[in-house]
Structure 1
Amino acid sequence: MSESLETPVRLRTTLDSVPGYKPGRPAAMAAEDSERGVTSVFKISSNENPYPPLPSVLDIVREAATTMNRYPDMASSELTHALAQRVGVSADEVSFGTGSVGVLASLIQITCEPGDEVVYAWRSFEAYPIVVALAGARSVQVPLDADARHDLDAMAAAVTDRTRLLIVCTPNNPTGPSVRADELRAFLRSLPEDLLVVLDEAYLEFVVADDAPDALAIYREFPNVVVLRTFSKAYGLAGLRVGYALARPRITTALRKAATPFGVSDMAQKAAIASIAAFDELQERVVSLVAERRRVVDALGEAGVDIPDTQANFVWLPLGERALEFAAFADENGLVVRPFDGDGVRCTIAEVEANDRLIDVVTRFYAG
């Protein structure tokens, strides 16, 4: 038997063009921190909810862990009915996956043949080009406008007869702005009726803008719209991977066919059900994070730092070529951020102490 680790197996050539996903870097080890005089490190690179799980949700997860030797309910029946009742749709309009990105991958699989096109804004969620390429489809990336917002006119102009799916990320990750209701409706009316349009609302609960769209109203008005949401952010279940889509029954049926069997664990399903029941309590945390976001934005504004309007749980620093320089400076000061080389830096709104340090680090960097 050969001891070489090489293999002659042929892999898909598509993989050569698939970018690797870059998660937020973990906080530095305590020993490394002490060596450079940093007593604590805050990780604000992954858009996680800084609050621990609610005690009631944690109790449910502990109980569910005792039956992890059994497969979960593949249909997520109880969760489907709980969410449908909460949102105000039928159970036939709800489907789940391993996070919203898992559902998005299935949406691309059920709409795109090899060579078909998927249109989305750029920069936006970095998983988009990955899931598109893995499906054998082609990404059509439309640059954001000068305010780091979706350029909906340019996106409409980018649609061709090969376009099968279009993504609107609102609020946009990683820049923060939400699209406006009036412009979204006009945009949707300009598109082919058979083009699937995905409204990715991973940060929905943090939106407070009066002109932001009501995605459910949009969904009911336009049969080709799918609403994509997650339990990872506001609900604080990032580690359990539960995302869902609201879509017409024909699309839901196809999504359930394409989903990874038993992909959403029993613990994840039960934690999501408990979180729906405890939404009012979770909402208090969301309100607190929104208030902290406003405090950070106001403080940066007073320091002369110009950032895009954000409706999410993060702020965007449009530093361009200085993105990596700032990330290194932040790291030296015990703050782990998410740089996008050549574009900017995304910083999650977290605990008060982390936000205080963010204000200080950003202020000093811009001043220097």
Structure 2
Amino acid sequence: MTVATRTGLDTIPAYRQGKSPAPAEGLAPYKLSSNENPYPPLPAVVEAVAEAAAALNLYPDMSAAALAGAVARHWGVQPENLAFGAGSVEVASQLIHAVASPGDEVMFAWRSFEAYPVLATVSGAVPVPVPLTADGGHDLDAMLAAITDKTRLIFVCNPNNPNGAVLSADAVEAFVAAVPADILVVIDEAYLHFNVDPGTAVGVDLFRRHPHVAVLHTFSKAYGLAGLRLGYAIARPELVANLRKVAVPFAVTALAQAAGLASLAAEGQLQERIDVLVAERERLHAGLLAAGLPVRPSQANFLWLDAGVATAQVAAAFEAAAIAVRAFPGEGLRISIGSPEANDRVLGLARRLAVAVPA
């Protein structure tokens, strides 16, 4: 006799972690499948984590008070506007649990961050994906039209994962103003630091003007703390209070809090790395276009290759070159920006790939 399990779990897809590269003789492997920062933590961050490790026998501060104070000063908000979690994906889960009851609807563009439909379904809510526009952007008009009396939360991913498309400030301002005030609009800015588009929507600006806006940020990407899991929401205090009720107790470790504090103190050094990654993104984008590949412009730390029906074939070519990328069968591939050496390897493949990919 086996233990009874929750009904419906067989319909929920498990979240897929980016694959590690398969070994290939004579080639250094490069993992470009998870949008990770290719550079190791700064020495000051490593030192702060090592110091915090001396107190591993103690529970962390559940309020993350020191970190909340630093983040609040960074964004010009109050500590009571901040809720932390084990990565922004865990905070996204908190947001859903805090506002959506079973049977309520959680809307998002599609394709977008793969965790959205999983988190919604696990919570008992109904995921409502709205197809992207032909050029890969959020179809904000279609999203407005899809709102029902069951809609409780709308995710807006800017820049969008997996294609790096951005939304303009004017477009999102009009969208948020048109969304009923009892529906939470979450601006997910996991890739904020790589977005250099001067006309882009800015989550914190929207939060200041609209009470039904929350913003998601993470330390995983630009700050390079993916292995420690640290993210946060900026929201109204009454929503933050509810996020803390549904959060996993002690999910934000003392090590993560120490690393976050040290990272905020080293913003200048981190910006130098971000600038390098943005320059590498533009170099890789230009090189792939010159090779004849249909690659989209991006404001994140990855590029989207519209491989379509050739996706599996192109993914196999990357694998043979000891490069792991994120393949979406029948649609395309997401290629994370890696070190210059990794990006050189990608460019070396480009002309061979162009033969397989339809223009």
> TM-score, structure 2 length as denominator?
0.97
Q: CA deviation at 1:319?
A: 1.3
Q: CA deviation at 1:270?
A: 0.4
CA distance in 1, matches of 2:7, 2:351: 46
Deviations 1:231-281 (A, max 9, x none): 000000000000000000000100111111000000000000000000111
CA distance in 1, matches of 2:202, 2:4: 47
Q: 2:6 is aligned with what amino acid?
A: R
What percentage of aligned pairs have identical amino acids? 49
Q: Is the 8 A contact 1:51 1:236 kept in 2?
A: yes
Q: State the match for 2:67 in structure 1.
A: 79
Q: 1:26 is aligned with what amino acid?
A: S
Alignment gaps of 5+ in structure 1: 1-6
Q: Is the 8 A contact 1:195 1:224 kept in 2?
A: yes
Deviations 1:151-197 (A, max 9, x none): 11111111100000000000000011111111111111111111000
Q: State the match for 2:310 in structure 1.
A: 322
Q: Is it true that 1:155 corresponds to 2:133 in the alignment?
A: no
Q: 1:123 aligns with which of 111, 128, 149?
A: 111
Deviations 1:181-224 (A, max 9, x none): 11111111111111000000000000011210122111111110
Q: 1:204 aligns with which of 189, 192, 206?
A: 192
Q: Is the 8 A contact 1:99 1:243 kept in 2?
A: yes
Deviations 1:49-103 (A, max 9, x none): 0000000110111111111111111111111111101111001101100100000
Q: Is it true that 1:249 corresponds to 2:237 in the alignment?
A: yes
Q: State the match for 1:310 in structure 2.
A: 298
Q: 2:340 aligns with which of 327, 332, 352?
A: 352
Deviations 1:343-367 (A, max 9, x none): 1100000100100111222331113
Q: State the match for 1:192 in structure 2.
A: 180
Q: 1:191 is aligned with what amino acid?
A: V
Q: State the match for 1:99 in structure 2.
A: 87
CA distance in 2, matches of 1:42, 1:58: 23
Q: Is the 8 A contact 2:98 2:242 kept in 1?
A: yes
Deviations 1:313-354 (A, max 9, x none): 000011122222211111001111110112110000010010
Q: 2:262 aligns with which of 255, 268, 274?
A: 274
Q: State the match for 1:8 in structure 2.
A: 2
Q: Secondary structure at the match of 1:337?
A: strand
Q: Is the 8 A contact 1:14 1:133 kept in 2?
A: no
Q: Secondary structure at the match of 1:166?
A: strand
Q: 2:44 is aligned with what amino acid?
A: S
Q: Is the 8 A contact 1:201 1:229 kept in 2?
A: yes
Q: 2:276 aligns with which of 285, 288, 301?
A: 288
Q: Secondary structure at the match of 2:24?
A: helix
CA distance in 2, matches of 1:158, 1:39: 49
Q: Secondary structure at the match of 2:232?
A: strand
Q: State the match for 1:3 in structure 2.
A: none
Structure 1 segment 137-148 matched on structure 2, within 5 A: 137-148=125-136
Deviating more after overlay: 323-332 vs 281-290 = 323-332
Q: Is the 8 A contact 1:17 1:133 kept in 2?
A: no
Q: State the match for 2:30 in structure 1.
A: 42
Q: State the match for 1:299 in structure 2.
A: 287
Structure 1 residue runs of 4 or more that deviate by more than 4 Å after TM superposition: none
Q: Secondary structure at the match of 1:331?
A: helix
CA distance in 2, matches of 1:270, 1:14: 39
Q: 2:122 is aligned with what amino acid?
A: L
